[in-house]
Amino acid sequence: MPLMTAPLPPGSCNAHCHVFGPRERFAYAADAPFVPEHDAPREALYALNDRLGLTRCVVVQSACHGFDNRVTQHAIDGRPRDYRGVALLRPDVPDTELRRLDAAGFRGVRFNYMSHLGAGAPLPQVRALTGRLAPLGWHVQIHGDTRLLTDVAPALRASPVPVVIDHIGRIDAGLGPQQPAFHQLQALLDAPTFWVKVSGIDRITRQGPPYDDAVPFAARLVAEFGDRVVWGNDWPHPNHAGPLPDDDQLVAALQRMAPSAAALRRLLVDNPQRLYRFDQ
């Protein structure tokens, strides 16, 4: 498949990636569910985004660093105008810490419900936290397998803040568009509070690149819920089964996810601006 032949729109955002280390400065958590073999510091992320034409970026705190969000803040600090963060926090985090992180460029908090990342936060506590996030204009980001779509996300329908579902809900692309999990994801997105990241085509595919089985799911979500979709490459691709994806191929798939200039701009520029508030 040919790679992107036209440049990305000005202000395009990589809305989902991570930084690891350097471990000499930012130690991995003692109880980390995984420890990367190699560090992936902010300088490597900057270089990759610059080469790909992704001038804005949202760094998502990784479970390998736990609740110590300094590594993500370090990545934001290097490019404070164009980089934002999503934190990992306990639901009982003090309001003073929320305000500090907001001033530092954080715009949301992620909760993991993937079994390999440990037990997820109790839903009543997450729901209680959303009320404290609302004055900040933050959102909740949730990550889990397809059980998330039936057991976790529906409990957040009444959230006063946006709820962002990671990686196309981790559906199995090999099961086709009529699978119940995809219908459940679409039903959630009928509620205006829900957003979805059309990242992770490399995680839901059964075929591998150029991800012909996975791209149609992302394309359908972009077509149906175009004002509540964002995209990221998930660099440096932690806990990935099989060979690591080629970031150029992931960017090339964007032209099939969002085939019109207007759709691509909404996905990469307009929607991230609304959700992450780069101008504040």
Q: What sign results for the dihedral spanned by CA atoms 276, 255, 196, 53?
A: negative
- Residue from 102, 166, 202, 234 carrying the catalytic annotation: 234
Task: Determine whether 234 is an active site residue.
Answer: yes
Active site residues: 234
